[in-house]
Structure 1
Amino acid sequence: MDFKDYYVNLGVSPDADEKTIKKAYQKLVKKYHPDVNPGDKAAEAKFKEATEAYQAISDPEKRHKYDELRQDYQQWQTRGGRGDFDWGRWQSNPGGGGGGRQTHTMSPEDFAEMFGGSGRTGGFNGSGGDGYSDFFSTLFGGGGGQGRGFAGGFAEGRPRAGQDLEVEVQVTLEETHRGTTRVIHTGDKKIEAKIPKGVRTGSRVRLTGQGSPGISGGPVGNLYLNITVSPHTRFDRDGDNLRADQPIDFYRAVLGGEVSIQTFDGEVLLKIPPLSQSGKKFRLKGKGLPNLEQPNQYGDLLVELSIVLPEDIREPEITALRDLADKRKATVKNI
């Protein structure tokens, strides 16, 4: 029989308090619950492993006994682990002693409070048994006891809402501008979710009634899409406004001209006045992003000039510029 380190299985330290243990168990169940992973045997095994561990160390009496066994087992390993470990002294007495209080049962209301789910284990029973390992059964006498606990589901309780599910969704800035859709898979359901225009990183899109089933006739939970907007290579977002740098050569900065600006609505020609300095800003009204609450209202596109030298400037041009610079020096000197 193999020893099971329930603290490792739950991902908590041996001195973890009840709140930490409960939180760790909630996280694992939400991830591996069979309702969320239908037909996934690996996830079901993880779910059973976490449930067994929680059964063992969430109850003070069981935890005390387990901690003593764990210490004894670790000392046996430290001594070299020779021979077989003496499991007999830790075996539960089916008729009394360690077998009187066999399970830490939970009501449907308690289960709903922890997981917000359907109130059922999604197949924890296993085939032909209560689903607990030989290690657990040896130590605590199995998963039976009063009530049906985790091993056999729950009796009908008062109606409770189903679990709210959450899915992380990443969209591009272009999709934020026009709105988009995503196909979301939850359990055996496939949902085409509409993501509205103007969403931001941190926005939550609610899909009503697309979560887990309710308990005892309670309403179905909701599905929430947690939105992250990926960075853009050209634009920076500032609320509903967009910001962009526009490089121009010094000829256009001095003489003026036009530059083509690509926006999400198409090409726009921006007129550059003569003698424009690097850092000069232009505002293109309504060329930003739609407002999430009022999608017909758009922010602006703020363009900032940056003067760059031409990479292919030729020697005659350099000579001409040098002559102009010398003339300017002479003119300034004579003033």
Structure 2
Amino acid sequence: MARDYYKTLGVQRNASETEIRKAFRGLARKHHPDVNPDTPGAQERFKEVNEAYEVLGDPKKRIQYDRFGENWRYADKYTRSDGSFTNETFSWPGSGHRPDATFGAGSVFADLLGGVRFSSRERGNVRPTPIEVPVELTLEEAYTGVTRTIQIPSGQGRRAKRLTGTIPKGVDTGSRIHVPAGQGMEIYLTVKVRQHAQFQRKGADLYVDLLLPFVDTVLGGQQEVPTMNGEVLLTIPQETQNGQSFRLRNKGMPRLSKDGLYGDLFATTKVVLPTGLSEHERDLFRELKQVRKDREA
């Protein structure tokens, strides 16, 4: 019986590319032989899913499949750019012979194609599904870069092996790092960067709150600002407002794959009001209040 690739992936015939890709990834994970080594039929089901996605995941192949069904591989040989059939003699790929018939437009060609079955070998080799290995990093590790050693189990004719992947500086949540593996394997480290207690990250830029004593916001001063590689001294102008942002260039995260380039660090002021005032300090504030009142009168 001819296999319906749409049914194999569990999608409608009018499914979008995104829906097809999502369905494939879910089924590939579900039926991967390494995940289900003892489940009967898992490997065969896995191959079917790969085969279906090989066709439906390619827009050109999908159009041919929608028109010719399982014989889509041989469609190009018999169609012109206008969509009509050619008058070439039909030769079955890999068969070593040709049928004693020539087919043209309006002939029994379509009926003959509909009755032919091809072996899995003729459909081509199934590409292995990439193995995704989740890796969680601290922000500091994402800043400096790091290596991770992973264990790949045996399966599909390969031996178990340990691999070391180099994660470059500047990676962010969602980054995929390819790890050379050999044996026909495709290994990717999928990165997740943990939230930091002090810094917020947006792309290559970092954001940090800068706590300032009330008197320094009024009179100005100097304040140490934390960065990923130590503190730097920042000059605070007089009459700095709460929520004011200072930009420290090149003090953010490394820009991935752009050696020597960094994002910026934005320090946002948070004014800390004094507490535990002495009576003398309160008198000074009262005096300041009166001075401001007289000035505005």
1:332/1:155 CA distance change after superposition, 3 Å: closer
CA distance in 2, matches of 1:28, 1:202: 21
Q: Is residue 2:189 matched to residue 1:229?
A: no
Any stretches of 5+ residues in structure 1 without a counterpart? Answer: 1-16, 38-42, 55-104, 117-153, 214-219
Match for 1:29 among 28, 31, 38? 31
CA distance in 1, matches of 2:168, 2:280: 56
Letter in 1 for 2:133: V
CA distance in 1, matches of 2:29, 2:245: 49
Give 1:49-198 correspondences, 5 Å limit: 51=41, 110=48, 113=51, 161-187=127-153, 188-198=160-170
Q: Is residue 2:223 matched to residue 1:259?
A: yes
**Matched positions, count:** 209
Match for 1:20 among 2, 5, 10? 10
Maintained 8 Å contact 2:9/2:52: no
Alpha-carbon deviation of 1:288? Answer: 0.7
**CA displacement, residues 232-262 of structure 1 (integer Å, 9 cap, x when unaligned):** 1211112211111211121000111111112
Secondary structure of the 1:166 match is: strand
Secondary structure of the 1:194 match is: strand
Secondary structure of the 1:113 match is: helix
Alpha-carbon deviation of 1:263? Answer: 0.8
Identical-pair percentage: 32
TM-score under structure 2 length normalisation: 0.61
Alpha-carbon deviation of 1:322? Answer: 1.2
Letter in 1 for 2:247: R
Alpha-carbon deviation of 1:285? Answer: 1.5
Maintained 8 Å contact 1:26/1:114: no
CA distance in 1, matches of 2:120, 2:294: 99
Maintained 8 Å contact 2:28/2:49: no
Alpha-carbon deviation of 1:226? Answer: 1.3
1:18/1:164 CA distance change after superposition, 3 Å: closer
1:26/1:203 CA distance change after superposition, 3 Å: closer
Alpha-carbon deviation of 1:169? Answer: 1.4
CA distance in 2, matches of 1:176, 1:323: 52
**CA displacement, residues 115-156 of structure 1 (integer Å, 9 cap, x when unaligned):** 99xxxxxxxxxxxxxxxxxxxxxxxxxxxxxxxxxxxxx998
CA distance in 2, matches of 1:303, 1:236: 11
CA distance in 1, matches of 2:288, 2:120: 93
Maintained 8 Å contact 1:288/1:299: yes
CA distance in 2, matches of 1:28, 1:292: 32
Give 1:301-320 correspondences, 5 Å limit: 301-320=265-284
Any stretches of 5+ residues in structure 2 without a counterpart? Answer: 1-6, 12-22, 55-118, 154-159
Maintained 8 Å contact 1:161/1:221: no
RMSD over aligned CA atoms reads 3.3
CA distance in 2, matches of 1:277, 1:111: 60
1:307/1:194 CA distance change after superposition, 3 Å: same
TM-score under structure 1 length normalisation: 0.54
CA distance in 1, matches of 2:281, 2:222: 22
CA distance in 2, matches of 1:172, 1:235: 12
Match for 1:288 among 249, 252, 258? 252
